[in-house]
Amino acid sequence: MKSHGGFIHVYSEVGKGTRFKVYLPAFETTETKVLGDKKIKELPIGHGELILVIDDEAAIRDIASATLQRYGYRVITADDGADGVALYVHNKVKIKAVIVDMVMPIMDGRTTIRALRKIDPDVKIVAVSGLKDDEKHVQAARVDANAFLSKPYTAGTLLKTLYTLLSGEKISP
């Protein structure tokens, strides 16, 4: 919450229960939301490629996985870098790209990316981070990963980045 500029208020009274209020900053955009199948057709779709998603936040992992599956990808997930590297070793011939969170316990994103590169120097990696002020992780991702996404990212941004990466096009920082 804090890394996105938000906060939580908790109100609790004995015998009455507890209430949580979540506050997130408003986000202005010029993008027009289009509902229905029209928006779905505009986004690039996968063709059954296997994607490894490594993120310690279950909600983000689940949303990324569901989005990718909805748009034609197959997905396997890991909740930390060590498990992600192990999954990559067992499936490296099948995995076409890896999405790695930069800030995780046990094995952080930078270490995970280094380990993946030792196994396969050509592995396609998208690094993600929600820490806007953590320039060290951003620079590390740009050096070691093929692409970088800031959390929160949209489904469209994720799909377009992955499509560009898998098609071999150059991704600008």
Residue 110 in this model has a pLDDT that exceeds 80? yes
pLDDT at 3: 62
Domains of the chain listed by start with CATH number: 37-167 (3.40.50.2300)
Residue 29 in this model has a pLDDT that exceeds 80? no
User: Where are the extended beta strands (E) located within 14-123?
Assistant: 17-23, 50-54, 74-78, 95-101
State the chain's mean pLDDT as an integer. 83
pLDDT digits (tens, 9 = 90+) for 113-143: 999 999 999 999 999 987 665 565 555 555 5
pLDDT at 166: 95
pLDDT above 70 coverage of the chain, percent:
75
Q: Compute the average pLDDT of residues 96-117.
A: 93
Q: Compute the average pLDDT of residues 153-170.
A: 90
CB within 8 Å of 162: residues ≥ 6 apart: 44, 46, 51, 68, 73, 97, 99, 126
Q: Compute the average pLDDT of residues 15-24.
A: 77
Higher pLDDT, 150 or 126: 126
Residue 40 in this model has a pLDDT that exceeds 50? no
Q: Compute the average pLDDT of residues 2-9.
A: 67
Helix, strand, coil percentages for the chain (3-state, nearest 5): 40, 25, 40
Collapsing DSSP to helix, strand or coil, 76 comes out as: strand
Higher pLDDT, 61 or 168: 61
| Contact predicate 116/99, CB 8 Å | no
Residue 27 in this model has a pLDDT that exceeds 60? no
| Contact predicate 76/52, CB 8 Å | yes
pLDDT at 170: 62
The pTM for the full model equals 0.73
